[in-house]
Structure 1
């Protein structure tokens, strides 16, 4: 039976968990960190962004965060930000990588921020797309997209393809054409295997008070039609990062790397080359 998304490599971590990752290209390392959501995984989030970086001379790693995709799904842990950070850094350790650039969307953006705070010597720079970790939980729960996501998770049964498609269109994008049949099929199949505990115990602290500690050059892209992350995060991040640059993208929801793929790829490559 064919797998819903490509299977790459596995890294055995010092903490005993196993992380799945795709590995393409040679050169400075760029790690893509995906968001949560139903059927979340690295490939579905970033399949349109890998090749341009590889062609430009970068080594691109696309892991599935613990609890997601083909990575380990332990049921005896709580999925706090510290666990995600630990797994990403231990993956770099297992691959003999000293430093990397992190590109993170949503939960993946929060993981990138957490890595920069806990292991600043390992992170060269960051690209963030509407990251978590900038508000307290009630602010997130008030967002319409978050309400729809938790309603799907709390239904007790995996969502249908139509439910997933409707959710992605209403919560993640402005242009419905960005939600392709392939994307829905991939995430539908992966949602069946997802670890419920990864969402039920997910905890990301508010890191705004510590943003000033992060010295890495950082590019943030934020869709102005965001349904998942509160707009207050724009100024908190824009003012909080000493070496940050903020790009606001109109006609764009939560998935700037999918909905405005060419713009995203151009801006990321320019940032990697010129800062």
Structure 2
């Protein structure tokens, strides 16, 4: 059976990036989070078909995740991920794009916007990192994951507000993804203890965030145990042209837990 997580492949710098490319029109790049077993498809599978009705949707697997090529002795950090997105845009001849970033992807979206303001239009930050905060037990659990089905079930319980979404099938899918060759090696090297250091490394300077002069939509689940809701309140206070939407009865997965509302809000924001 064909694996829906594997889509197109293109050279970005010295490695190949696996990416999804759907629809036509103005471009929106979706950047996934950093949970174990994650891929662009796993994160955005419920958003891409809907948004691609009006936009060209691109969703890459970031270096070290999913089905993007893993080179031996690779190191993974914000500079590597920023360069990968810019290299992807250059390879596809995309001069300017909109961005959607989830969690880790939100921190990356902020970093990209600060370093290359001329390349980006509107930004959506969802359950975003990118400012300093005290490491949560949920994020420590995600980054410190060691592969087992029980650990994955427990982690998905932490991610989602409702048990309804955390099916055994989903846990098995994500667990199987987390034990693919090379995945755990690259994943465990990214966020070593003490993990507060990784929170700090992903944060942009607040004076740089304040200078962002773009329309920014900030979305967060009020009951998020992984990234504090207060992060988004802080980002909203820092970014002049921002709007903040909070979902009640929602954990870290607003694009899955409230997918129809999430898709509508994002689509409306980009179409304004």
Indicate whether the TM-score tops 0.5: yes
Tell me the equivalent position of 1:166.
Answer: 154
Deviating 4+ runs (over 4 angstroms): none
Tell me the TM-score normalised to structure 1 length: 0.89
Counterparts of 1:45-56 in structure 2, within 5 Å, are 45-55=43-53
Query: 1:195 offset after TM fit, Å?
Result: 4.6
Which of 116, 123, 130 lines up with 1:119 in the alignment? 116
Inter-partner Cα distance in structure 2 for 1:127 and 1:215: 14
The Cα offsets for residues 53-93 of structure 1, whole Å up to 9 and x where unpaired, read as 112x2111111111011002234233111111110111011
Tell me the equivalent position of 2:174.
Answer: 187
Inter-partner Cα distance in structure 1 for 2:169 and 2:21: 21
**Gapped regions of structure 1 (runs ≥ 5):** none
Query: 1:238 offset after TM fit, Å?
Result: 0.8
Q: Could you say what secondary structure the match of 1:209 adopts?
A: helix
Inter-partner Cα distance in structure 2 for 1:181 and 1:48: 19
Tell me the equivalent position of 2:55.
Answer: 58
**C-alpha RMSD over aligned residues:** 1.7
Inter-partner Cα distance in structure 2 for 1:224 and 1:49: 20
Tell me the equivalent position of 1:21.
Answer: 19
Inter-partner Cα distance in structure 2 for 1:117 and 1:213: 8
Shift in alpha-carbon separation, 1:205–1:107, aligned structure 2, 3 A: closer
Inter-partner Cα distance in structure 2 for 1:235 and 1:209: 16
Tell me the equivalent position of 2:194.
Answer: none
The Cα offsets for residues 92-128 of structure 1, whole Å up to 9 and x where unpaired, read as 1101111111111111111111110111111111111
Q: Could you say what secondary structure the match of 2:46 adopts?
A: coil
Shift in alpha-carbon separation, 1:85–1:112, aligned structure 2, 3 A: same
The Cα offsets for residues 233-258 of structure 1, whole Å up to 9 and x where unpaired, read as 12320111111111111100111000
Inter-partner Cα distance in structure 1 for 2:220 and 2:257: 12
Query: 1:179 offset after TM fit, Å?
Result: 2.6
Q: Could you say what secondary structure the match of 2:33 adopts?
A: coil
Tell me the equivalent position of 2:142.
Answer: 149
Greater Cα shift, 238-247 or 186-195: 186-195
CA contact (8 A) 1:126 1:218 kept: yes
CA contact (8 A) 2:97 2:119 kept: yes
Inter-partner Cα distance in structure 2 for 1:100 and 1:183: 32
Inter-partner Cα distance in structure 2 for 1:144 and 1:195: 20
Tell me the TM-score normalised to structure 2 length: 0.90
Shift in alpha-carbon separation, 1:147–1:124, aligned structure 2, 3 A: same
CA contact (8 A) 1:110 1:131 kept: yes
Inter-partner Cα distance in structure 2 for 1:117 and 1:181: 40
Tell me the equivalent position of 2:256.
Answer: 258
The Cα offsets for residues 23-45 of structure 1, whole Å up to 9 and x where unpaired, read as 11111011111001110111011
